[in-house]
Amino acid sequence: MLLPDYYEFCCRVKLIAGHDALEKIPELLAAKGARKPLIITDKGVAGAGLVDIVSRAAGKLDPNLVNDSVPPDSDLKVVHELAKLYQENACDALIAVGGGSVMDTAKGVNIVVSENATDLMAFSGVGALKRPLKPLVAVPTTAGTGSEVTQVAVIKDHDKHLKMAFGSYFLLPDIAILDSRMTLTMPPFITAMTGMDAMSHAVEACYCLQKNPLSDAHALAAVSLLYAYLPQAVNNPSDRDARLSMAIGACLAGMAFSNSMVGLVHNLGHATGSVCGVPHGLCMAILLPYGLEYNLHKREEAIAGLLLSMAGPHIYKETPEEQRAQKVISLIRKLNDDLHAKTGGRHARSLSEVKDRDGKPAVPREALPQIAQAALLDGASVYNPEETDYEDNLMVLEAAWEGKPLDRAKVKKG
Amino acid sequence: MARVREISSGRKPLKRAYVAMFLWFTGRAIQAAAKADNQVKSEFEALPENFTFSLGCLPDGPWMVVGKKNGVVKYLGGKLPEKQHVRLAIKNLDAGFLILSFQESTALATTRNRLVTDGEVPYALAVIRILDIVEVYLLPKIIASLAVKRYPKHWSVARKLKGRIAIYTRALLGL
Ligand SMILES: NC(=O)c1ccc[n+]([C@@H]2O[C@H](COP(=O)([O-])OP(=O)(O)OC[C@H]3O[C@@H](n4cnc5c(N)ncnc54)[C@H](O)[C@@H]3O)[C@@H](O)[C@H]2O)c1
Ligand SMILES: [Fe+2]
């Protein structure tokens, strides 16, 4: 492996993992000197009874300080409303119980209350934060985004149809609790797509420009856990060990990409989510094979290396060197096919297969140019190994819409 | 054993002069490219009126400032304005020399945290695209290939040739 001559790696999140990790919360909060946490969640998570489990394990939570108003993909306005609630009640910490939408909302709220800001937008981009924020405890209920250990928050401005990214080491939560009870209730369809989000983090971490030996170590460990346990967690939702393994896999993937950053898959995925409202995980599942194909000529060795983590030493050895990268791509496609079958078709494999709530196609072909354009506004492109312009974006989106492999001869090379 | 040394940019007159000269010329070339290259032109058209950005070295320069007023893109000299939309700041003069003498691509410099971007992301991305195009015009292929992720082989010969002549002439004359 080529060692970069300079890199940074930071993951200073205290991690508690286990089948009974939640019980540790009171002690951890006390150590932070926090007495009055605001609990942020969403209706799906609260409806699944997860806040009750946290409440039972962590000692009674004040029902007035539990708020479930987070919408999918988070929301700029909700962030400001929750910040107001925090300030009016003189809270001194935040507990996020939910998936990426909830955890990222909590990060946004934390920026507003810690900086006494009137507009969260003033802190978008990388490096705008200059000092530590209030204590934040992240309790992920999906095994996907890894937001519990990332320095990133993605918050949507639903009025402008734009997903905004925030990056800073100060956005790393103080504490992350991985408890298998939190993901047992996740339906197979959500398990599948959020699991593929985690997979996309691990895989993109292996080929993006800021990769380094430490991010690689985390990413490869993540790939092997996720690849082994995702089908198991979908098949048997109440398998506690599979759930905990997925939680740890997603967390490792988060640690990896938070330092290596992500590329084309997230770049186009954020844009597809912004323009058509497709859930993030589904975008990732569909686009992941294309990210690999598009960057293959620049990152063949790194991609080929993934085969060992996915398929094990036997298949790795049996596969001729020049076919390994291609094999990785076909295994990812196969995984998507299996998840498609196991979720009664809800796990879409192409953009044309994605349905909205009313069962209508969510991504009309005519929307692809708009998505390709929106991707030019997203920072993930910087970290992608190969350049991407409007036409490149459109070419990849069209292939992903049809669900056909990318014609690699058409990828422009320098 | 290496001892820690105070590094002051003031004591590197040659590097400083090179970086300053490069920035001066790039600033004028951007102004030129905004007229001579359609892609740079449309990137600027999409940016708001009075859009201003700068590129330079921390802590005390040199800097290059470019802005758009009444639809016209102009090199605004080396003095940082009070307010600007995007600032691309290179960590120090040494890193500036590395990047601006094209021993390190802008993308790699970003990933190595040597180039710090301030401002809204969509604007910053537009500035990076503009800089990449201008570098391709200014530099011979062998050097530009190091400075950008993908050398645009797919540009037409006409675009490369005509653009290069127009941009060099305009930049030298300050048009
Ligand atoms: N910060 C980061 O590093 C990062 C990384 C990737 C993605 N993201 C962002 O995260 C968001 C997506 O997060 P997500 O994929 O976790 O989904 P999500 O948080 O939007 O949740 C999806 C749905 O699943 C439900 N749900 C969650 N956990 C459940 C459980 N245990 N049981 C039953 N239902 C449950 C929720 O109520 C919701 O309806 C996107 O906005 C994406 O951009 C952030
Ligand atoms: Fe993601």
What was the pLDDT predicted at A304?
98
CATH 1.20.1090.10 intervals, chain A: 188-410
| CA–CA separation, A278 and A296 (whole Å) | 26
The answer on pLDDT for B83 being more than 80 is yes
Instruction: Check whether the bond before B62 is cis (ω within 30° of 0).
Output: yes
- The whole-number pLDDT of residue B6 equals 46
Which residue ranges in chain A fall short of pLDDT 50? none
Smallest Cα distance from B166 to chain A, Å: 24
Phi/psi zone of residue A350: left (φ > 0), alpha (ψ -120 to 50 degrees), beta?
beta
A46-66 residue pLDDT tens: 999 999 999 999 887 889 999
- Give the best residue of B92, B150, B155, B160 to mutate against chain A (max A CB count within 10 A): B150
> Given this structure, which CATH class describes domain A188-410?
mainly alpha
Q: Rounded to whole angstroms, how far apart are CA atoms A181 and A383?
A: 35
The tokens describing B22, both together, are: 């490069």
Tell me the average pLDDT of chain A: 95
Q: Is the pLDDT of residue B174 over 80?
A: no
**Among the ranges A79-83, B2-6, B103-107, which has the highest mean pLDDT value?**
A79-83
Q: Is the pLDDT of residue B1 over 50?
A: no
H or E element, residue B147 = helix B141-147
Q: Which amino acid is at A271?
A: A
Helix ranges (DSSP H) in A208-323: 213-235, 240-260, 264-276, 280-318
The fold adopted by the segment(s) B13-173 is Nonspecific Lipid-transfer Protein; Chain A (3.30.1050)
Residue A188 near ligand 1, beta carbon < 6 Å: no
CB < 8 Å from B in window 123-162 of A: 124-128
pLDDT of residue B89: 92
Counting residues of chain B whose pLDDT is more than 70, the rounded percentage is 94
Interchain pair A377, B148: CB under 8 A: no
Determine the residue of A142, A268, A270 to mutate for testing ligand 1's pocket, defined as the one with the most ligand atoms within 8 A of the Cβ atom: A142
pTM: 0.93
Give the torsion through C-alpha atoms of B123, A5, B105, B67, to 10 deg: 40
ipTM: 0.86
Q: Would you state the CATH architecture of domain A14-182? A: 3-Layer(aba) Sandwich (3.40)
